[in-house]
Structure 1
Amino acid sequence: MKIDEVKTLLESFVDETIVNFQIDKTIFDSESGREAFNRTVRQYVGKKFGVYIWVDKATDEIVYIGMAGKIKTDGTLGDHSIQSRLLASRGKDKITKKDIQTNDYIRELMTQNNINSFDFYVMYSKAGEPPAYIEALLLYKYYKKNNRLPRFNNAF
């Protein structure tokens, strides 16, 4: 599954605006690399809900599909935007028990998997379209086509 297939599949669920920016592994080479990553996210990603996709630039492979914006009981979307999601903790390190920030998580993924650059695609959901449904649709289609999930998605 390629990003153009995703765009076609999601036409009726997301706004026309698709944000695309690149994160190179070299951004993390300086002492302020984590902050540079966060600045880039703040520059390109709005405080809106929807899905985001990471693509290995060298291979054009979709390696991760994520979402932000869960529906609450009263029908409103939660306050965790895509921007917040990309700046937030990814959970606790199993050994140190410390929070793993997204910037550190991405740096480690790139280093451990010899990835030099990610293309980030952000697609904002239309009003009334739950991001969780859009993410599930993408993961399902990816799974059906490839018999597996994207490399860095742990479960579906």
Structure 2
Amino acid sequence: MSTVLNMIELRSGTTADLALVETLMAEAFDPRFGEAWTRGQCLGIMALPGVWLTIASIQGQPAGFALSRLTVDEVELLLLATAPAVRRRGVGAALLRSVLGDAQDRGAVAMHLEVRDGNEAIKLYRNAGFVKVGQRRAYYRGNAGLVSDAFTYRRDLL
């Protein structure tokens, strides 16, 4: 799959893209919050059925990624990150639209995600029709003892 929308190119990713994903996570996720996954965690999840990776680029430069998993008829958005240099240029929204479309194409009836309390991406998810359905207290444990809640969101796809 390869699509160009407003100079944002989206393509399917593979395990060969994990070095890129790791670099984007290091840039996008503040280590104070403990949100980034290790390459091993990404490799392990990508080996499971129903998992897919979407890579975004702008003019050939890495711009973001989304990692998602279909289980039965529901999709979980596991990770979504955009490079700080291209934030607020539609990359996150393009990735989210792509994942939502892929989820529907795969027969999903709902999508779930979790996001750290205070993360600016909450606005993106709310604007895309996600509704807060839960909270995990003290879920994220970052550096220097920083602890944050996780909010869980859901969007029906029917």
Same fold (TM over 0.5): no
Higher relative contact order (CA 8 A, sep 6+): 1
Q: Which structure: greater strand fraction?
A: 2
TM-score by length of 2: 0.29
TM-score by length of 1: 0.29
